[in-house]
Amino acid sequence: MVDPMQDVMWNLISDVDYSSVIEKYRKALEEQYLKFTEDKALDINKKNAAILDIQDSLNSFKESVENLFSESSISAKDVYVSDESVLSASITDEVATGTYYVKVVKIATVDQWISSGGVYDPYDNTSNSNIVLHSGENFSFDYNGTTIDVTADGNWSLYNLISAINEKADELGLNVNASMINVGGTYKLLLTGEDTGAAFKIENIADNSVLGDADSYIHLQTAQDAKIEFGEENPVTISSSSNTIELVEGLTIELNTESPEKLTIEVRNNKEELKKKIHQFVDAYNELVDKINSYTTFDENTYETGPLFGESYVADLKAALVDLVLTDVYVDATFYEDWGGDDDLQELHNLSQLGIDFDSEGHLEVQDYKLDWYLENHFDAVKKLFTAEGGLIDKVTEKIGRITDPTTGFIAIILNAYQSKLDLYKSQYDKTQEEIDKKIEKMQQEFLQLEQIKSQMKQMQQMLKSYFSQDKD
C-alpha cells in the first residue's frame, strides 16, 4: 500500500542552508554590480601609485642634479707638484689655474741642544754619579726671550730634571720640550724648541752639573726661517717662520726639504671630474625616462599594458622633461674661437652644443669627442653654462620644481584628478553596497517567512500523520 504521506513529506523534513544561499546571492550581486567599480578604483590606485613613484624619481633627479653641479664640485681643481718629496701643495676653489715655480732654499727648523755629559741611570737620585742637581741647585735657559728656571727640591735624577722643565714650560705656555737620549750607554739631556723660525731660539743655558757646563752644550740644530724663491725668470724671495706657506690665494705649500732644483706646481681645472658629473647627469635623466616608460608598456603577445598606458598626460610629462634639457640659457658663457664668422666671440647656450642630445628612444647621449674638446679648451665657459645664476642647473631644478610643486604642479593636478575619481567611485560603491544590503535584508525576511510556513506545515504534517495512524489501527 502506498503511504499517503509520502508526497506531503517530500521537502518539509529537509533543512535548508539559508546562510549559504544568502552568501551566494550576495556574491552574485557584488560580482554583477560592485566588481566594475572595484576594478575601476583598483586601476586608478595603480595609476596613482605610478605617478607617486614618478614624482619620487623626479625629486631624486632634482636632488642629484643639485648635488652634482654644486658650485664647489664644479669648481674643484687638481694640483700637481713636480717633486713631492721636496714640497706638497693643497688648494681651495679660490686658486687661479696656472703654473707656479718654487725653489726651496731653506726649510724652517727648530732649535735643539744636547748636554755634553750624562748619567748611566736616568732614574737614580741616590748616587752622586747619577745626580744631575743637588737640593737647592738651579737649572735655567731662555726660550724666545722667556726664562725657564727650576730649583731642585731634593737630589734630582735626570728624569726629575726633565719632568720639572716640562712642567715649567707648560705653566709658562712655551712650546719647548726636555727629553733624554741614550748615547753609547750614557743618558743625556735634549732640549728641543717646538716652534720653527729664527725667533724661537734656546739660549743662555745655565748648568753646573754632571751634564756639563753651559759652554759645553752642543748645538744640534739652529732655529731658522724658511726661505723660498718664487717665480720663474725674476723670482722673489719669501721668508717664513713656518714650513707651511700660502703661496698665493688658495694655494698653500708644505716644505719638506731643501733642494737646488726649481719645482713646478701646476693647478689645473678638474676636467675629468666635470665630465664625470655630466655623464652622471645624463644617466640620471635616462633613468627617469626609463621609469616613466616602465609604466606605459604594451605587450603585443599578451596585450597586457602598464598602468599609465594610453594616458595623454604622460606625453605632456615627457615633453616637459625634454624641455628641461633643451632649454636655452643666456649667462654670458662666452669664449673666443675662430669658426669663420664675423666675430671670434662665441657663446654656449645649451647642452646640444656640448654634444649632449637625444637618441631615437628619447634618451640623452653624449658625444664625448665634442664634450672633451670644450672641456679642454673652454672649461670656464662650460662651467658657467651649468653653474651661473640662471644657468642650466638653475633652469632644470626650477622646472622640476614647477612639475612637482605639491599644490600647483603638474603631478599635483594629476593626483587631484585621480583622487576625485576615487571619491566618485567610492560614492558609487557605497550606494550600490547599500542597495545590495537592502536586497539581502529582504531575502532574509522572505526566508524567515518561509521558515514560519514550514513550521506550520510540519505541525499539519504531524497532525495528519497521527490521523492516518489511527485510521490504520
Secondary structure string (H, E, C) spanning 282-294:
HHHHHHHHHHHHH
Q: How far apart are CA 195 and CA 242, in angstroms?
A: 8
Of the candidates 64, 105, 58, 98, the one whose C-alpha atom is nearest the C-alpha of residue 78 is 98
pLDDT of 400 reads 85
First-residue to last-residue Cα distance in the chain: 15
Q: Is 229 exposed, middle or buried (0-12, 13-18, 19+ CB in 10 A)?
A: middle
CA distances 300 to 254, 304, 362, Å, are 68, 8, 21
pLDDT confidence of residue 473? 56
- pTM here? 0.61
- In this structure, are strands 226-230 and 176-183 parallel, antiparallel, or unpaired? unpaired
- Domain 112-221: CATH class, spelled out: mainly beta
DSSP, collapsed to helix, strand or coil, labels residue 113 as: strand
**Pick from 164, 180, 162: nearest CA to 172:** 164
Cell reading at 142: 731662555
pLDDT given for residue 24 in this prediction: 85
Q: Can you give the pLDDT of all 473 residues of the chain as single tens digits?
A: 344 444 444 344 446 677 888 888 788 887 887 788 888 888 889 988 998 998 888 888 888 888 777 766 666 788 999 999 999 999 987 888 899 999 999 999 999 999 999 999 999 999 989 999 999 999 999 999 999 999 999 999 999 999 999 999 999 999 999 999 999 999 999 999 999 999 999 999 987 678 887 788 999 999 999 999 999 989 999 999 999 999 999 999 999 999 999 999 999 888 888 888 889 889 989 999 999 999 989 888 888 888 889 888 888 888 888 888 888 999 999 999 887 766 788 999 999 999 999 998 889 999 999 999 999 999 889 988 988 889 888 888 888 888 888 888 888 888 898 888 888 888 888 888 888 888 888 888 887 887 788 778 778 877 877 777 765 55
Structure confidence at residue 15 (pLDDT): 61
Which pLDDT belongs to residue 169? 97
Residues 211, 188: contact at Cβ < 8 Å?
yes
- Beta-carbon contacts of residue 320 (< 8 Å; ≥ 6 apart): 399, 403, 410
Q: Are 152 and 134 in contact (CB under 8 A)?
A: yes
Report the C-alpha gap between 306 and 292 in whole angstroms. Answer: 10
Q: What is the pLDDT of residue 470?
A: 67
Nearest residue to 189 via CA among 201, 205, 171: 205
What is d(CA 386, CA 40) in angstroms, rounded to the nearest whole number? 45
CA atoms within 13 A on the CB side of 163: 9
Q: Bridge-partner residues for 253, per DSSP?
A: 89, 245
The reported pLDDT for the residue numbered 140 is: 93
